[in-house]
A and B are shown apart, each in its own frame.
Chain A
Amino acid sequence: MAAFLLTAVSIFAFPALASAFPLQAGDTPNDGGGSVDVSWTPPDHHPTSWILVRREQGGTFAPVATVDGTDSHYSDDTAQNGTAYEYQLVASPADPSLDSEVSGPAHASVNLFDWSKFNVLVVAGVFFALLFWYIRKSEGGTKWVFRKIPGLDAIEEAVGRATEMGKGVLYVPGVQEIDDIQTIASMILLGRVARIAAKYETALNVPTNSPGVYTVAEEVVKSAYADVGRSDVYKSDQVRYVTSEQFAYVAAVNGMMLRERPAANLLLGAFFAESLLLAETGHAVGAIQIAGTANVHQMPFFVVACDYTLIGEEYFAASALLSNDARLLGSLKATDSVKILMIAIIVLGSILATFGQTWLGDFFSTQ
């Protein structure tokens, strides 16, 4: 009983004895408040674990957490904003000679800006500035020159080919949800393809693997047909929800290809393992195939198995290039300009790093 009382008193009443190591406490940076970071250099002789204790200035210590003896950092996320706390590490099992010093007062506070993301803000800011500048120039009549992307020219050709052969076009918008940017880009392209199909009265089938995508795709296709005055040709079965299960979807789409034998397959969106399954089956039925995705790991399959492939940013640029809209083309120039800037920064950063100057690389680090 006396030993217990002595230990309790030593933990909560007396400061640490000789050879105590320092403890730093401060507001956790770049957060919404309620958190204090406590850090220390673990001493050579350390206990199995530490009890982190905390007190408000003038108060008594109370335990907050137990941390491993080899740890060097703890975030106390039970702190009240604006209250000054002092911390100490107490050895467990109790040994006052191993306890840390008491830290200086620290209080949690709300940060209005996450400075660790400042570099992202800089890049985004430069991008926005260039975007608006190029859009203004486009609206002022400047004409931009872009390289030819064979896959884009082939889209209208593919629909035309399907019309001549009396067959349909199969449009597969990928396997991701509607909140994925690749799927959104696919919906934009679908609108353009649907307009062409409506004009030529070519059957257009759009199997989707998500109800969210189905909802948007149906609206896009219906509106596209209405925009060119061909609502009479639109059929409600053109866009359908198949299944959300990846390989069941592939089986269903492959079945459609084998039964309906479309003349053109447009595989535009986010794809995973099913990419080659779709592309090979499409080739087997003799369809012309145009694929586009930003999923790097599936690009090789599309490049090998399809007639045309839109790689990475070509896929995202497709809708702007097809539209010929001045403002959209201006946004493409902005993207190109930022890319050139990034190449310059990468080259410069590599050269600097070779000579031991890592400040440029460190600025762009997001870790």
Chain B
Amino acid sequence: MKREIPIVITLVAGLFMLLAWFVPHPTVKAAYEGLQNWAIVVVGFTYVLGVANLLRINTRQVSRKERDWPYKMVLIAGLLVTMVVGFSEGNHYTDVDSRFQWIYRTFYSPMTATMFSLLAFFIASAAFRAFRIRSVEALLLAIAAFILMIGRVPLGAAIHPAIPAAADWLMEIPQNAAKRGILIGAALGVMATGIRVILGLEKTYGGGDS
């Protein structure tokens, strides 16, 4: 029963949501939106579980002084301080001079921006290491890459106006066509996976045997 009940719930809810998309009747629409709201609420509750898991694992590692335990202390302290500061300031947490905003501006903003900026370095090293021109297709790809990289910055137009024009053509025609093909395939894959889950053909995700 433990495995059958989730499958039945998935089937009923999945078929309802599928059919409800086609039916604008207010009662059906209300149920459709209601189910979506429930999903948001359930996901919201899982954050409690997530934070509890985070604290459980890290406090245990700190108490046992496992490897890198000082970093776990920093994580726990950061979590608790931010939560306490945010809750204590209430609606005023959005004020420019609030402590919460100070934490946001001083720690959160620069750290996330820094992680994203690592991409610039990694792209360069990946380009050096992995972009091997071993075939005609790879050569065409490399030529397209050069045109795009130079055409997308002011330098390209300064060298010759045909470069940004060529970059635009590459993006609007061949790139678009290939991408649409991949998207159509992926969309069919999405449909197939969704139907397999709704009909109970795939049970692994729910912890069952398929």
Contacts and interface: CB of A to CB of B under 8 A. Distances in A.
Question: Do A and B come into direct contact in the complex, CB within 8 Å?
Answer: yes
Interface of A: 30-34, 110-114, 117, 120-121, 124, 127-128, 131, 177-179, 181, 184-185, 187-188, 190-192, 210-212, 214-216, 219-220, 222-224, 227, 237, 240-248, 250-251, 259, 273, 276-277, 279-280, 283, 294, 296, 299, 301, 304-305, 311-313, 315-317, 319-320, 323, 325, 327-328, 331-332, 334-335, 338-339, 342
Given A276-B123, A331-B192, 15 more contacts: A110-B26, A111-B25, A114-B22, A114-B23, A117-B21, A181-B193, A190-B204, A211-B48, A212-B42, A214-B53, A216-B206, A241-B49, A312-B189, A328-B201, A335-B189
Q: Main SS of chain A's interface residues?
A: helix
A325 B199 CA distance: 15
Which 7 pairs of residues, A with B, have the shortest CB-CB distance? A211-B50, A316-B189, A191-B204, A247-B115, A313-B189, A223-B207, A211-B46
B125 A280 contact: yes
Contacts of B192: 131, 316-317, 320, 331-332, 334-335
B193 A111 contact: no
A8 B72 CA distance: 74
Given A251-B115, A276-B123, A113 B205 contact: no
Given A111-B24, A247-B111, A331 B201 contact: yes
A33 B143 CA distance: 56
Contacts of B201: 325, 327-328, 331
A342 B183 CA distance: 13
Max chain A CB contacts within 10 Å: which of B183, B184, B205? B205
A27 B185 CA distance: 38
B152 to A, nearest CB: 15
B186 A294 contact: yes
Number of contact residues on B: which range applies? 35 or more
B195 interface: yes
Contacts of B115: 247-248, 250-251, 277
A312 B178 CA distance: 12
A192 B202 CA distance: 11
Contacts of B39: 179
A326 to B, nearest CB: 10
Q: Point out which of B49, B122, B184, B209 has the most chain A C-beta atoms below 10 A from its C-beta.
A: B122
B88 to A, nearest CB: 21
A328 B119 contact: no
Given A277-B119, A277-B122, A299-B182, A179 B205 contact: no
23 contacts: A179-B39, A188-B204, A190-B204, A210-B50, A212-B46, A215-B46, A216-B205, A240-B53, A241-B50, A241-B54, A243-B54, A244-B50, A251-B115, A276-B119, A294-B186, A294-B189, A304-B126, A304-B127, A304-B130, A312-B189, A317-B192, A320-B196, A342-B188
